[in-house]
Copies of this chain bind each other. A is one copy, B any other.
Amino acid sequence: MPLLSSHRMHRLVRETLAAAGLSDAEAGVCADASVFADLRGATTHGIVYIVRRTLESIRDGKTRSGSAIEVVRQGGATALLRTAGVVGPVMGKQAMAMAVAKARAQGVGVVNTFNGNPIGLLGYYANLAAEAGMVGLVMANTSPSAAPYGGTSMVLGTNPFAYAAPAADSRPILFDIATTVASYGKLQRAKRRGDRLPEDWLIDKDGRPVTDPARADEGVMQTCGGHKGSGLAILIHLLTGALSGTTVGGEDTHNHPDPAQRGQGALFMALDPEFFASGAVFEALVEKQIGFIHGADPLPGRTHPIYPGERGWSELDRRQAEGIPVPEEDWAVVLKAIRASALDEARLLEGIA
Protein backbone atom coordinates (compact mmCIF):
# COMPACT_ATOMS: atom_id res chain seq x y z
CA MET A 1 0.00 0.00 0.00
CA PRO A 2 1.30 3.50 -0.84
CA LEU A 3 2.97 5.39 1.99
CA LEU A 4 2.89 9.16 1.50
CA SER A 5 4.50 11.88 3.56
CA SER A 6 1.93 14.40 4.78
CA HIS A 7 3.65 16.97 2.56
CA ARG A 8 3.37 14.76 -0.54
CA MET A 9 -0.24 13.90 0.23
CA HIS A 10 -1.09 17.56 0.70
CA ARG A 11 0.44 18.34 -2.70
CA LEU A 12 -1.43 15.47 -4.35
CA VAL A 13 -4.82 16.64 -3.03
CA ARG A 14 -4.08 20.29 -3.81
CA GLU A 15 -2.86 19.66 -7.34
CA THR A 16 -5.65 17.20 -8.13
CA LEU A 17 -8.38 19.61 -7.07
CA ALA A 18 -6.66 22.57 -8.71
CA ALA A 19 -6.39 20.59 -11.95
CA ALA A 20 -10.12 19.91 -11.68
CA GLY A 21 -10.86 23.61 -11.52
CA LEU A 22 -10.54 24.87 -7.94
CA SER A 23 -8.36 27.87 -7.20
CA ASP A 24 -5.05 27.18 -5.45
CA ALA A 25 -6.42 28.71 -2.27
CA GLU A 26 -9.57 26.55 -2.35
CA ALA A 27 -7.61 23.40 -3.13
CA GLY A 28 -5.15 24.22 -0.34
CA VAL A 29 -7.89 24.38 2.30
CA CYS A 30 -9.31 21.07 1.07
CA ALA A 31 -5.85 19.55 1.37
CA ASP A 32 -5.44 20.92 4.92
CA ALA A 33 -8.71 19.33 6.04
CA SER A 34 -8.08 16.04 4.26
CA VAL A 35 -4.48 15.62 5.47
CA PHE A 36 -5.58 16.46 9.04
CA ALA A 37 -8.03 13.55 8.85
CA ASP A 38 -5.53 11.14 7.30
CA LEU A 39 -2.83 12.08 9.81
CA ARG A 40 -5.21 11.33 12.68
CA GLY A 41 -6.14 7.97 11.23
CA ALA A 42 -9.66 9.12 10.32
CA THR A 43 -9.08 7.46 6.98
CA THR A 44 -12.73 7.47 5.86
CA HIS A 45 -12.59 11.30 5.79
CA GLY A 46 -9.12 11.68 4.32
CA ILE A 47 -7.89 11.67 0.75
CA VAL A 48 -10.32 8.99 -0.39
CA TYR A 49 -13.23 11.14 0.71
CA ILE A 50 -12.08 14.58 -0.33
CA VAL A 51 -10.77 13.67 -3.78
CA ARG A 52 -13.65 11.44 -4.82
CA ARG A 53 -16.45 13.58 -3.37
CA THR A 54 -14.99 16.89 -4.55
CA LEU A 55 -14.31 15.71 -8.11
CA GLU A 56 -17.85 14.29 -8.29
CA SER A 57 -19.28 17.49 -6.89
CA ILE A 58 -17.38 19.63 -9.41
CA ARG A 59 -18.57 17.36 -12.23
CA ASP A 60 -22.18 17.56 -11.01
CA GLY A 61 -21.96 21.34 -10.87
CA LYS A 62 -22.58 21.42 -7.12
CA THR A 63 -19.10 22.77 -6.38
CA ARG A 64 -18.10 25.79 -8.45
CA SER A 65 -14.76 27.51 -7.93
CA GLY A 66 -15.07 31.12 -6.86
CA SER A 67 -18.56 30.70 -5.36
CA ALA A 68 -19.04 33.20 -2.56
CA ILE A 69 -20.77 32.69 0.76
CA GLU A 70 -23.91 34.79 1.04
CA VAL A 71 -24.70 36.29 4.43
CA VAL A 72 -28.48 35.94 4.54
CA ARG A 73 -28.90 37.39 8.04
CA GLN A 74 -26.58 38.50 10.78
CA GLY A 75 -26.98 39.35 14.46
CA GLY A 76 -24.36 40.37 16.98
CA ALA A 77 -23.54 36.79 17.85
CA THR A 78 -25.16 34.88 14.99
CA ALA A 79 -25.14 34.49 11.23
CA LEU A 80 -27.10 32.55 8.65
CA LEU A 81 -25.06 31.70 5.55
CA ARG A 82 -26.15 30.38 2.15
CA THR A 83 -23.14 28.46 0.86
CA ALA A 84 -24.28 26.95 -2.46
CA GLY A 85 -21.38 26.14 -4.77
CA VAL A 86 -18.63 26.67 -2.19
CA VAL A 87 -16.34 23.68 -1.77
CA GLY A 88 -17.07 22.11 1.64
CA PRO A 89 -13.85 22.72 3.58
CA VAL A 90 -13.63 26.36 2.47
CA MET A 91 -17.19 26.88 3.66
CA GLY A 92 -16.49 25.12 6.98
CA LYS A 93 -13.30 27.04 7.64
CA GLN A 94 -14.91 30.42 6.92
CA ALA A 95 -17.99 29.62 8.97
CA MET A 96 -15.90 28.66 11.99
CA ALA A 97 -13.69 31.73 11.54
CA MET A 98 -16.85 33.86 11.63
CA ALA A 99 -18.11 32.07 14.76
CA VAL A 100 -14.73 32.68 16.42
CA ALA A 101 -14.75 36.37 15.46
CA LYS A 102 -18.24 36.79 16.90
CA ALA A 103 -17.25 34.95 20.06
CA ARG A 104 -14.24 37.26 20.41
CA ALA A 105 -16.66 40.20 20.45
CA GLN A 106 -19.69 38.75 22.22
CA GLY A 107 -18.48 35.66 24.10
CA VAL A 108 -20.29 33.26 21.81
CA GLY A 109 -20.78 32.96 18.07
CA VAL A 110 -23.28 30.73 16.29
CA VAL A 111 -23.15 30.36 12.52
CA ASN A 112 -25.70 28.27 10.64
CA THR A 113 -24.93 27.26 7.06
CA PHE A 114 -27.24 25.77 4.41
CA ASN A 115 -27.21 24.61 0.77
CA GLY A 116 -23.78 23.27 1.64
CA ASN A 117 -21.40 20.77 0.10
CA PRO A 118 -20.03 18.08 2.43
CA ILE A 119 -17.34 19.33 4.80
CA GLY A 120 -15.69 16.03 5.72
CA LEU A 121 -14.31 15.58 9.22
CA LEU A 122 -16.14 17.92 11.61
CA GLY A 123 -13.33 17.77 14.14
CA TYR A 124 -11.10 19.74 11.80
CA TYR A 125 -13.32 22.82 12.15
CA ALA A 126 -13.92 22.36 15.88
CA ASN A 127 -10.15 22.22 16.33
CA LEU A 128 -9.73 25.57 14.54
CA ALA A 129 -11.66 27.16 17.42
CA ALA A 130 -9.49 25.38 19.98
CA GLU A 131 -6.41 26.74 18.21
CA ALA A 132 -7.91 30.20 18.77
CA GLY A 133 -8.27 29.45 22.49
CA MET A 134 -11.99 28.74 22.33
CA VAL A 135 -14.38 25.85 22.69
CA GLY A 136 -15.58 24.88 19.22
CA LEU A 137 -18.70 22.86 18.44
CA VAL A 138 -19.79 21.65 15.02
CA MET A 139 -22.77 19.58 13.92
CA ALA A 140 -24.18 18.65 10.51
CA ASN A 141 -27.27 16.96 9.11
CA THR A 142 -27.23 14.10 6.62
CA SER A 143 -29.85 12.30 4.55
CA PRO A 144 -32.14 9.72 6.22
CA SER A 145 -30.32 6.54 7.18
CA ALA A 146 -31.23 5.87 10.83
CA ALA A 147 -34.44 4.96 12.64
CA PRO A 148 -35.90 7.19 15.33
CA TYR A 149 -36.13 5.33 18.65
CA GLY A 150 -38.87 2.72 18.50
CA GLY A 151 -39.06 2.72 14.71
CA THR A 152 -37.69 0.89 11.69
CA SER A 153 -37.90 3.58 8.97
CA MET A 154 -35.07 5.80 7.83
CA VAL A 155 -35.83 9.24 9.27
CA LEU A 156 -32.70 10.56 10.96
CA GLY A 157 -29.27 11.23 9.48
CA THR A 158 -26.06 9.88 10.95
CA ASN A 159 -25.75 13.54 12.07
CA PRO A 160 -22.16 13.94 13.20
CA PHE A 161 -21.13 16.14 16.12
CA ALA A 162 -17.69 17.36 17.20
CA TYR A 163 -16.25 19.60 19.88
CA ALA A 164 -12.78 20.76 20.77
CA ALA A 165 -11.35 22.50 23.83
CA PRO A 166 -7.83 23.86 24.35
CA ALA A 167 -5.70 22.60 27.24
CA ALA A 168 -2.79 24.33 29.00
CA ASP A 169 -0.15 21.76 28.00
CA SER A 170 -1.75 18.84 26.19
CA ARG A 171 -3.19 19.01 22.74
CA PRO A 172 -6.92 19.85 22.61
CA ILE A 173 -9.66 17.54 23.70
CA LEU A 174 -11.19 16.70 20.32
CA PHE A 175 -14.37 14.66 20.26
CA ASP A 176 -15.90 13.65 16.95
CA ILE A 177 -18.77 11.19 16.61
CA ALA A 178 -21.74 10.13 14.56
CA THR A 179 -24.98 9.99 16.54
CA THR A 180 -25.54 6.56 15.02
CA VAL A 181 -23.67 3.55 16.46
CA ALA A 182 -21.61 3.30 13.26
CA SER A 183 -20.62 6.27 11.15
CA TYR A 184 -21.68 6.31 7.50
CA GLY A 185 -18.05 5.90 6.41
CA LYS A 186 -17.46 2.85 8.60
CA LEU A 187 -20.65 1.20 7.36
CA GLN A 188 -19.71 1.79 3.71
CA ARG A 189 -16.23 0.40 4.30
CA ALA A 190 -17.55 -2.73 6.01
CA LYS A 191 -19.96 -3.27 3.10
CA ARG A 192 -17.17 -2.82 0.55
CA ARG A 193 -14.89 -5.21 2.38
CA GLY A 194 -17.63 -7.72 3.09
CA ASP A 195 -16.97 -7.57 6.85
CA ARG A 196 -19.62 -9.00 9.13
CA LEU A 197 -21.48 -6.13 10.83
CA PRO A 198 -21.72 -5.78 14.62
CA GLU A 199 -25.21 -6.60 15.92
CA ASP A 200 -26.00 -3.05 17.02
CA TRP A 201 -25.33 -1.26 13.72
CA LEU A 202 -28.43 -2.10 11.66
CA ILE A 203 -31.87 -3.65 12.11
CA ASP A 204 -34.32 -4.86 9.51
CA LYS A 205 -38.07 -4.19 9.23
CA ASP A 206 -38.72 -6.86 11.87
CA GLY A 207 -36.33 -5.22 14.32
CA ARG A 208 -33.73 -7.98 13.94
CA PRO A 209 -30.01 -7.19 13.62
CA VAL A 210 -28.60 -7.23 10.07
CA THR A 211 -25.05 -8.57 10.30
CA ASP A 212 -24.57 -9.85 6.74
CA PRO A 213 -22.83 -7.05 4.79
CA ALA A 214 -24.52 -8.27 1.59
CA ARG A 215 -27.89 -7.53 3.24
CA ALA A 216 -26.84 -4.13 4.61
CA ASP A 217 -29.14 -2.25 2.25
CA GLU A 218 -32.14 -3.98 3.86
CA GLY A 219 -31.15 -2.50 7.21
CA VAL A 220 -31.69 0.83 8.91
CA MET A 221 -28.98 2.33 11.11
CA GLN A 222 -29.38 2.47 14.89
CA THR A 223 -28.72 5.59 16.96
CA CYS A 224 -26.14 5.37 19.74
CA GLY A 225 -27.49 4.80 23.23
CA GLY A 226 -31.05 4.11 22.04
CA HIS A 227 -33.42 7.02 22.70
CA LYS A 228 -30.49 9.22 23.80
CA GLY A 229 -28.73 9.18 20.42
CA SER A 230 -32.10 9.52 18.71
CA GLY A 231 -32.83 12.71 20.66
CA LEU A 232 -29.38 14.11 19.89
CA ALA A 233 -29.80 13.39 16.18
CA ILE A 234 -33.15 15.24 16.29
CA LEU A 235 -31.49 18.22 18.02
CA ILE A 236 -28.92 18.32 15.22
CA HIS A 237 -31.64 18.31 12.56
CA LEU A 238 -33.31 21.22 14.38
CA LEU A 239 -30.17 23.34 14.86
CA THR A 240 -29.00 22.78 11.27
CA GLY A 241 -31.79 22.35 8.68
CA ALA A 242 -34.76 23.60 10.71
CA LEU A 243 -33.02 26.78 11.89
CA SER A 244 -32.08 27.62 8.28
CA GLY A 245 -35.57 26.84 7.00
CA THR A 246 -34.47 24.00 4.73
CA THR A 247 -34.97 20.39 5.89
CA VAL A 248 -35.59 18.16 8.88
CA GLY A 249 -34.84 14.49 9.47
CA GLY A 250 -36.86 12.50 6.94
CA GLU A 251 -35.96 14.71 3.97
CA ASP A 252 -33.14 14.14 1.54
CA THR A 253 -30.45 16.76 2.04
CA HIS A 254 -27.87 16.29 -0.73
CA ASN A 255 -30.37 15.38 -3.44
CA HIS A 256 -33.40 17.39 -2.35
CA PRO A 257 -35.63 18.07 -5.41
CA ASP A 258 -35.81 21.80 -4.59
CA PRO A 259 -32.41 23.47 -5.14
CA ALA A 260 -33.27 26.07 -2.48
CA GLN A 261 -33.49 23.30 0.14
CA ARG A 262 -30.71 21.12 -1.22
CA GLY A 263 -27.39 20.45 0.46
CA GLN A 264 -25.95 19.92 3.89
CA GLY A 265 -26.88 22.11 6.83
CA ALA A 266 -24.37 22.68 9.60
CA LEU A 267 -23.93 24.69 12.77
CA PHE A 268 -20.62 26.16 13.93
CA MET A 269 -20.36 27.50 17.45
CA ALA A 270 -17.46 29.07 19.32
CA LEU A 271 -17.40 30.02 23.01
CA ASP A 272 -14.66 32.30 24.34
CA PRO A 273 -13.58 31.35 27.89
CA GLU A 274 -12.30 34.92 28.35
CA PHE A 275 -15.93 35.93 28.82
CA PHE A 276 -16.29 33.51 31.73
CA ALA A 277 -13.58 32.78 34.35
CA SER A 278 -10.70 33.37 31.87
CA GLY A 279 -8.89 31.62 29.05
CA ALA A 280 -5.94 30.68 31.25
CA VAL A 281 -8.14 29.34 34.05
CA PHE A 282 -10.17 27.34 31.55
CA GLU A 283 -7.12 25.79 29.88
CA ALA A 284 -5.68 24.87 33.27
CA LEU A 285 -8.94 23.14 34.19
CA VAL A 286 -9.08 21.29 30.85
CA GLU A 287 -5.57 20.06 31.68
CA LYS A 288 -6.79 19.05 35.14
CA GLN A 289 -9.69 17.15 33.50
CA ILE A 290 -7.20 15.29 31.32
CA GLY A 291 -5.22 14.43 34.45
CA PHE A 292 -8.27 12.95 36.18
CA ILE A 293 -9.01 10.84 33.08
CA HIS A 294 -5.41 9.60 32.84
CA GLY A 295 -5.40 8.88 36.56
CA ALA A 296 -8.49 6.66 36.46
CA ASP A 297 -8.01 2.95 37.09
CA PRO A 298 -8.12 1.12 33.75
CA LEU A 299 -10.34 -1.82 32.88
CA PRO A 300 -8.42 -5.05 33.58
CA GLY A 301 -5.77 -5.69 30.94
CA ARG A 302 -5.92 -2.16 29.57
CA THR A 303 -3.64 0.85 29.95
CA HIS A 304 -4.99 4.07 31.47
CA PRO A 305 -8.04 5.72 29.91
CA ILE A 306 -7.34 8.38 27.30
CA TYR A 307 -9.17 11.62 26.57
CA PRO A 308 -11.31 12.22 23.48
CA GLY A 309 -9.05 12.79 20.48
CA GLU A 310 -5.86 11.63 22.19
CA ARG A 311 -5.48 8.52 20.04
CA GLY A 312 -5.72 10.70 16.93
CA TRP A 313 -2.99 13.04 18.19
CA SER A 314 -0.67 10.08 18.82
CA GLU A 315 -1.42 8.75 15.37
CA LEU A 316 -0.69 12.21 13.93
CA ASP A 317 2.77 12.23 15.53
CA ARG A 318 3.53 8.77 14.21
CA ARG A 319 2.27 9.46 10.69
CA GLN A 320 4.07 12.78 10.48
CA ALA A 321 7.29 10.89 11.26
CA GLU A 322 6.68 7.70 9.29
CA GLY A 323 4.27 8.71 6.54
CA ILE A 324 0.58 8.07 5.90
CA PRO A 325 -0.33 4.58 4.68
CA VAL A 326 -3.20 4.61 2.18
CA PRO A 327 -5.15 1.34 2.09
CA GLU A 328 -5.09 -0.28 -1.38
CA GLU A 329 -8.87 -0.06 -1.73
CA ASP A 330 -8.80 3.67 -0.94
CA TRP A 331 -5.90 4.27 -3.31
CA ALA A 332 -7.84 2.53 -6.07
CA VAL A 333 -10.79 4.87 -5.41
CA VAL A 334 -8.51 7.93 -5.60
CA LEU A 335 -6.94 6.74 -8.88
CA LYS A 336 -10.35 5.95 -10.36
CA ALA A 337 -11.63 9.43 -9.45
CA ILE A 338 -8.58 11.09 -11.01
CA ARG A 339 -8.99 9.03 -14.20
CA ALA A 340 -12.73 9.66 -14.41
CA SER A 341 -12.03 13.39 -14.35
CA ALA A 342 -9.50 13.02 -17.21
CA LEU A 343 -6.75 14.63 -15.12
CA ASP A 344 -3.06 14.12 -15.85
CA GLU A 345 -2.47 11.10 -13.67
CA ALA A 346 1.24 10.76 -14.44
CA ARG A 347 1.98 14.32 -13.39
CA LEU A 348 -0.17 14.25 -10.26
CA LEU A 349 1.32 10.96 -9.03
CA GLU A 350 4.93 11.79 -9.89
CA GLY A 351 7.31 10.35 -7.31
CA ILE A 352 4.70 8.27 -5.47
CA ALA A 353 5.70 4.60 -5.24
**Given contact pairs A225-B229, A245-B276, A286-B242, A296 touches B175 in the complex (Cβ within 8 A):** no
Q: Do residues A175 and B234 form an inter-chain contact, with CB atoms below 8 A?
A: yes
Q: Which residues of B contact A177 (CB under 8 A)?
A: 227-228, 231
Q: Count of chain A residues with Cβ under 8 Å from any Cβ of B?
A: 81
Q: Please report the C-alpha to C-alpha distance between residue A225 and residue B308 in the assembled complex, in whole angstroms.
A: 14
CB distance from A212 to the nearest CB of B (A): 20
Taking the complex as formed, is A153 at the interface, i.e. its CB lies under 8 A from any CB of chain B?
yes
Q: How far is the CA of A249 from the CA of B254 in the complex (A)?
A: 39
- Verify if A244 is at the interface (C-beta below 8 Å from B): yes
- Across the interface, do B148 and A293 meet the contact criterion of CB distance under 8 Å? yes
Do A288 and B225 touch across chains, with their CB atoms under 8 A apart? Answer: no
Which of A21-29, A74-82, A90-98, A318-326 faces chain B? A74-82
If the complex has contacts A155-B296, A293-B151, are A275 and B80 also in contact, measured as CB distance less than 8 A? yes
Find out whether the CB atom of A234 lies under 8 angstroms from the CB atom of B289: yes
Within 8 Å by CB of A305, from B150, B276, B297, lies B150
A273 contacts the other chain (CB 8 A): yes
State which of B152, B205, B247, B278 has its C-beta within 8 Å of the C-beta of A245.
B278
Interface membership of chain A positions 112-145, coded 1 if the CB is closer than 8 angstroms to chain B and 0 otherwise: 1000000000000000000000010000000000
Interface readout for A138-177 with B: 1 if CB under 8 Å, 0 if not?
0000000001111111010000000101000000010101
Contact B207 A277 (CB under 8 A): no
Q: Which B residues touch A106, using CB under 8 A?
A: 75-78, 106
Cα A179 to Cα B230 in complex, Å, equals 13
Q: What CA separation (Å) do A105 and B108 show in the bound complex?
A: 13
Contacting B at CB under 8 A, from A222-261, are 224-225, 227-232, 234-235, 237-239, 241-251
Assess the A292–B110 pair: CB atoms within 8 A. no
> A276 contacts B307, CB within 8 Å?
no
Smallest CB-CB separation from A181: which chain B residue?
B225
Q: A282 at interface (Cβ–Cβ under 8 A)? A: yes
> CA separation between A327 and B200, bound complex, in Å?
36
Known contacts A152-B297, A245-B276, A292-B249; A307 and B234 CB within 8 A of each other: yes
Q: Which residues of A contact B (CB under 8 A)?
A: 73, 75-78, 80, 105-108, 110, 112, 135, 147-153, 155, 163, 165, 173, 175, 177, 181, 205-207, 224-225, 227-232, 234-235, 237-239, 241-251, 271, 273, 275-278, 281-282, 285-286, 288-289, 291-293, 295-300, 302, 304-308
Write 25 A-B pairs (CB below 8 A) sorted by A numbering: A73-B275, A75-B108, A80-B275, A80-B277, A107-B110, A135-B238, A150-B305, A152-B298, A152-B299, A153-B295, A153-B297, A155-B292, A165-B242, A177-B227, A225-B228, A225-B229, A238-B286, A238-B289, A243-B282, A247-B285, A248-B286, A248-B288, A249-B293, A250-B292, A251-B292
